[in-house]
Amino acid sequence: MANTIDLKPVSEFISEDAPARYVYDMSPEKHEIALSTHDLQVYYGDNLALSEGDLAFERYKITSLIGASGSGKSTFLRSLNRMNDGVATVKGNITYRGVDINTKAIDVYEMRRHIGMVFQRPNPFAKSIYNNITFALTQRGVTDKQELDEIVETSLRQAALWDEVKDELNKSALALSGGQAQRLVIARALALKPDILLLDEPSSALDPISSAQVEDTLLELKNQYTIIIVTHNMQQAARISDYTAFFHMGKVIEYDLTRKIFTRPKVALTNDYISGNFG
Amino acid sequence: MNAKTADKLATGIIYTISGIVALILVAMLSFILVRGVPHLSWHFLTSPAKAFEAGGGIGIQLFNSFYLLLLTMLISFPIALAAAIYLNEYARKGRFTTIVRTAIEILSSLPSVVVGLFGFLLFVVKFHFGFSILSGAIALTFFNLPLLTRSIETSLAQIPNLQREAGSALGLSRWETVIHVILPAAVPSIVTGVVLSAGRVFGEAAALIYTAGQSAPALNFGDWNPFNISSPLNPMRPAETLAVHIWKINSEGIMPDVSAVSAGASAVLIIVVLLFNVSARKLGAMLHKKLTSA
């Protein structure tokens, strides 16, 4: 694979006076920004779980969020489409298409159709494969059978599941294997034609083969979707993402092009993490 | 005593105790069935009771029991479902929720005879419903509501949160997720709970003695207009149920074959309740299988 990255320890690159933080300058002149956050803070009760969340995500790229458990990366991700509503307090701005979506005035249900999400454990509905994909659409008034059929086929193809299930679309989705179920869930999210796809450790509950299939799927999807993925698997981050953000103790420590993060990180802490010294 | 002996001893004691529980049930069931089943016949199951002569049946009481059960479920299921959805899907921890939960707990521990007397004062006397199926159904609703609510709530709570997250991540509102995702997934276990509670309602006597009454007027099974007094469907007629009938004839029955009628009626009651229990599990398992496979 062209973008495979050599993961040997890179401590020799880190100078003595490494900066404490480094955030890549995603200038709007040079990059098309799909989503950006400004001063994002997340509280669980009085507990500050995330601060200094300033990130911009480039369109049609894959961005990985890495960091140890409890570093705030999932909290950050779940804030992006307001899945933390009612769970945590999120302060700050999340800008999508020039609009701050972290305000009361936003219709979160409508917004989530543009910013979809896939979770760690596959969560298909207790419905048929077909209905899993069409359900959210029919709730929004898409009832034309032919249109639905097309959407089902397209999204299952995009999720690389079509060939495996095309003859049993009426089978219960609960009968699928873990890897198939996760790809079905991705297809289900894609059926709404979102702009941005958020994935929270989508392959950590899967075996290596299914995991590789999900990765291939994501690489395919990159041409049409902006993807932000939380992962514990650093090889995965290195393999599939264009940008990587390293989270530590609720802060973004370093955000840069993936190849830079994995070959010559600017911050000593990042280097410690990717070379396996903690986390 | 070393760990291994202690374990063996404890296992032995637990097995014995469980065995005793099962034995009590088996003994009671076989006593009732052995005594009652020989008296069962189509005639016994379908003909009306006789007060002074032998050869009466339990037809009307049996019908009353099922009709009362149906009405009770029609009233209590929607209320229990709504309450359970509120408690499990919407309620946040707070004073109001605590009060509701405490109320349900207290309601479920009220003795059924108290519920019956309350129903007598309020519905039979105050609201002039008289001894009627309606009074009985409302009293049974009070009796059934807390258990049914609790059982539906448990069914909903068993659906993993992942399903709710899946719904909201697709831009579905909480209501849409509850109605179209959570409820369908919970149907097998809700059905099991409903049928099990139906078994309990079917066998209830104390709450009905002063509400649905202790008399079973003759019914005209050719008349299905619910406004006619002799129609089986009339909810305002007094309706002695099977369980009440058993209590009644055992305390003041004067027909010559009273012990045979009592034994037969008890056997029927037990068989129906057993059928409810078995079918509840079968039905739940069947629906679950249907939902999770082809």
pLDDT at position A2: 47
Residue B282's domain spans which residues? 41-292
Examine residue A5 and state whether it is found in any structural domain, yes or no. Answer: no
Number of domains chain B contains: 1
If phi > 0 it is left, if psi is from -120 to 50 it is alpha, else beta; for residue B170 that is alpha
Q: Does B33 reside within a domain?
A: no
Sequence-separated (6 or more) residues with CB below 8 Å from residue B245: B49, B58, B61, B216, B265
In a domain, B19, yes or no: no
Query: pLDDT tens for residues B17-55?
Result: 999 999 999 999 999 999 999 989 998 888 888 878 888
CA–CA dist B129, B213 (Å, integer) = 11
DSSP alpha helices (H): ranges in A115-207?
129-139, 145-158, 162-165, 178-190
In a domain, residue B30? The reply is no
Query: Residue B203's CB: how many other CB atoms inside 10 A?
Result: 17
CB B137 within 8 Å of CB B175: no
Asked whether the beta carbons of A226 and A60 are under 8 A apart, the reply is yes
* DSSP states along chain B: --HHHHHHHHHHHHHHHHHHHHHHHHHHHHHHHHHHGGG--HHHHHSPP-SSSS----HHHHHHHHHHHHHHHHHHHHHHHHHHHIIIIIPPSSHHHHHHHHHHHHHHHS-HHHHHHHHIIIIIIIS---S-HHHHHHHHHHHHHHHHHHHHHHHHHTS-HHHHHHHHHTT--HHHHIIIIIHHHHHHHHHHHHHHHHHHHHH--HHHHTTT-S------TT---TTSTT-TT-TTS----HHHHHHHHHHH--STTHHHHHHHHHHHHHHHHHHHHHHHHHHHHHHHHHHH--
- Tokens read off for B115: 């519920």
- Band (pLDDT 50/70/90 cuts) for residue A4 is low
Geometric angle at alpha carbon A24, from A18 and A27, rounded to 5°: 145
* Number of CB pairs, chain A paired with chain B, less than 8 A apart: 75
Q: Which domain holds residue A104?
A: 18-274
Give domain status of residue B11, yes or no.
no
Instruction: Report residue B294's pLDDT band, with 50, 70 and 90 as the boundaries.
Output: very low
User: How many angstroms separate the CA atoms of B101 and B288, rounded?
Assistant: 29
Least CA distance to B177: which residue of chain A?
Answer: A136
Mention every residue, 6+ apart, whose C-beta is less than 8 A from residue A125.
A131, A132, A135, A173, B163, B166, B181, B185
The reply to whether A9 falls in a domain is no
pLDDT digits (tens, 9 = 90+) for A259-278: 999 988 888 888 888 887 77
Confidence of residue B94 (pLDDT cuts 50, 70, 90): confident
pLDDT of residue B133: 92
Residue in A172, A186, A192 to test binding to B, most B beta-carbons within 10 Å? A172
Facing residues of B267 across strands?
none
Please give the pLDDT value at position A60: 93
pLDDT digits (tens, 9 = 90+) for A229-258: 999 888 899 999 999 999 998 889 999 999
pLDDT digits 0-9 by tens, A109-159: 999 999 999 998 899 998 899 999 999 999 888 889 999 999 999 999 988
pLDDT tens digits, one per residue of A200-224? 998 887 888 888 888 988 998 888 9
pLDDT at A182 over 70: yes
Helix or strand (DSSP H, E) at A212: helix A208-221
Q: Best residue in B159, B170, B293 to probe A by mutation, most A CBs within 10 Å? A: B170
For the beta carbon of residue B161, count every other beta carbon within 10 angstroms: 9
Q: How does residue A279 score in pLDDT terms, banded at 50, 70 and 90?
A: low
**Res A7: pLDDT:** 52
Q: For residue B88, what pLDDT band results from cuts at 50, 70 and 90?
A: very high
Residue A32 burial by Cβ neighbours in a 10 Å radius (0-12, 13-18, 19+): exposed
Distance CA A119, CA B166 (A): 8
Nearest chain B residue to A193 by CA: give it. Answer: B170
Higher pLDDT pick, A106 / A6 = A106
- Identify whether the C-beta of residue A203 lies closer than 8 Å to the C-beta of residue A219: no
- The average confidence (pLDDT) of chain B is 90
B165 to chain A, closest Cα gap in Å: 8
Of B163, B169, B294, the CB nearest to A112: B169
In a domain, B84, yes or no: yes
Q: Measured between CB atoms, which of B162, B168, B176 is closest to A121?
A: B162
**Rounded Cα gap, residues A193 and B131, in angstroms:** 62
pLDDT of residue A1: 45
CA distance to partner chain B, nearest, from residue A111 (Å) = 7
Contacts of A169 in chain B (CB under 8 A): none
Question: Count of domains in chain A?
Answer: 1
d(CA A125, CA B164): 10
Closest CA to B163 of A181, A138, A70, A74: A181
Strand partners, A96: A35, A99
Strand order in the sheet with A243-248: A22-23, A251-257, A243-248, A62-67, A226-230, A196-200, A115-118
**How far apart are alpha carbons B88 and B105 in whole angstroms?**
15
Say if residue B63's pLDDT is above 50.
Answer: yes
Closest CA to A200 of B166, B167, B181, B182: B166
Distance CA A18, CA A125 (A): 48
Return the residue of B nearest to A108 by Cα.
B171
Contact B43, B49 (CB under 8 A): no
Rounded to an integer, the average pLDDT of B246-255 is 88
Which residue from B160, B170, B292 is facing A192, i.e. has the nearest CB?
B170
Q: How confident is the model at residue A12 (pLDDT cuts 50, 70, 90)?
A: low
Instruction: Report yes or no: B265 and B173 within 8 Å, Cβ to Cβ.
Output: no
Interface of A to B at Cβ within 8 Å reads 81, 83, 108-113, 116-119, 121, 123-127, 135-136, 139-140, 168, 170-172, 174-175, 185, 188-189, 192
User: What are the Cα distances from residue B182, in Å, to B6, B101, B173, B288?
Assistant: 45, 21, 12, 14
| CATH number, residue A96 | 3.40.50.300
Quick: pLDDT tens for A22-74. 888 887 788 889 999 998 889 988 888 888 778 999 999 999 999 988 888 99
Which of B115, B97, B268, B89 minimizes the C-alpha distance to B173? B89
Residue at A51 is within a domain: yes
pLDDT tens for each residue of B129-185:
989 999 999 999 998 999 999 999 999 999 999 999 999 999 999 999 999 899 988
CA–CA distances in Å: residue B207 to residues B78, B110, B120, B135, B201: 21, 11, 9, 10, 10
**What does each C-alpha distance from B87 to A29, B137, B156, B157 come to in angstroms?**
51, 24, 10, 10
Query: Could you give the count of Cα atoms lying within 13 Å of B220 in the half-sphere of its Cβ?
Result: 10
Q: How far apart are CA A138 and CA A134, in angstroms?
A: 6
CA distance A8 to B132: 84
Count of C-beta atoms within a 10 Å radius of residue B192:
22
Cross-chain residue pair A126–B291, CB shorter than 8 Å: yes
CB distance B202 to B283 below 8 Å: no
Domain harbouring B115, CATH code: 1.10.3720.10
B70 to chain A, closest Cα gap in Å: 29
A118: chain B residues, CB-CB within 8 Å: 169
pTM recorded for the entire structure:
0.82
The per-residue pLDDT of chain A, averaged, comes to 87
- Residues paired with residue A251 on neighbouring β-strands, in sequence order: A248
Identify which has the larger pLDDT, B173 or A7: B173
